[in-house]
Amino acid sequence: MVSYTVIGGPSSEQLGRKISSKLNSKYIGTELRVFPDGESKITLKDKPRGRIIVVQSIYPPVDSNLVRALAIISEARRYSSDICAVVPYLGYARQDRQFLPGEIVTISLVAKLFKAAGATKIIVVDIHSMIALKLFQIPAKNITVVQELVKYFKRLKLKNPLVVSPDMGGIARARNFARLLSVDFIALEKHRDRKTGKVVVKQGDHQQVRGRDLILVDDMISTGGSIMKATQYLRKHKCGKIYATCTHALLIGDAEKKIKQAGVTKIVSTNTIPGKTSIVDISPIIAKAIV
């Protein structure tokens, strides 16, 4: 029987505990000290043994949480040659290609750092780019938790629900979500200026949303710009309630407040990133992927 030790990093302590419980394994927490100059110092609270699972999400502050993940992995490598890095939200995954001359594909460096630190495998959740995943030089696995979000919405009494992708790039995600929920879906067409970041939803005939409750589906919500634009557009078409759901709710600054002011009834996300909206637990799915 395989013996596991789960180390919960500072950014994912609660999720780490839940995964450890599902695996019936030893759990080790970490103690974080941040010096006045911003440096992080991490101490493991116990000695790990067996196969080691390091759980550390890389959300803001992204650079700090990345360094902390690498530090924990490096220390864990002293105790085992089998280190699985569970990174529920992988920062830098959006920097997977060069859009403008001179741009650096940072995720390529991040991938190399995980191997250099001592990770022998990495598990991520609903990664933004499969191109990014292919840059890792160790076995890398992406797991989807869309089915867990769907389970949540199946329990709600929605009025003739319709799944909506806020952009054409999310069609596959919306289609899958709608299939699991046994409803229809549509996708809006938007344009984002690469330099200014301004988002515009292109006009179209979307009379099918009238009177129906809508579920805006995305992989992540950062500033909420796309969700707000989509919500404002859909409300003009006399829809019912609008829900926004995603795997990763970054919700930078006052994004949550602005999204609700735009007309979203509720934001539903998973606990890849802890917060008020992270009401869907994904530890069972992650534990299954580890075993």
Q: Looking at the annotation, which residues are catalytic? A: 190
The values of phi and psi at residue 179, to 5°, are -65, -45
Give the span between the Cα atoms of 20 and 12, in whole angstroms: 12
C-alpha distance from residue 38 to each of 2, 49, 73, 200, 274 (Å): 38, 31, 20, 38, 22
The answer to whether the CB of 165 falls within 8 A of the CB of 177 is: no
Tokens, residue 187: 């996708």
- In the three-class reduction of DSSP (H, G, I as helix; E, B as strand; rest coil), residue 283 is classed as helix
Phi-psi region of 263 (alpha: psi -120 to 50; beta: other; left: phi over 0): left
Return the sign of the alpha-carbon dihedral for residues 271, 128, 146, 217.
Answer: positive
Smallest Cα–Cα separation from 261: which of 212, 215, 221, 227?
227
Q: Which long-range contacts (CB under 8 A, 24 or more apart) does 144-147 make?
A: 145/247, 145/270, 145/272, 145/280, 145/282, 145/285, 146/173, 146/176, 146/177, 146/180, 146/247, 147/180
Position of tokens 């009025």?
159
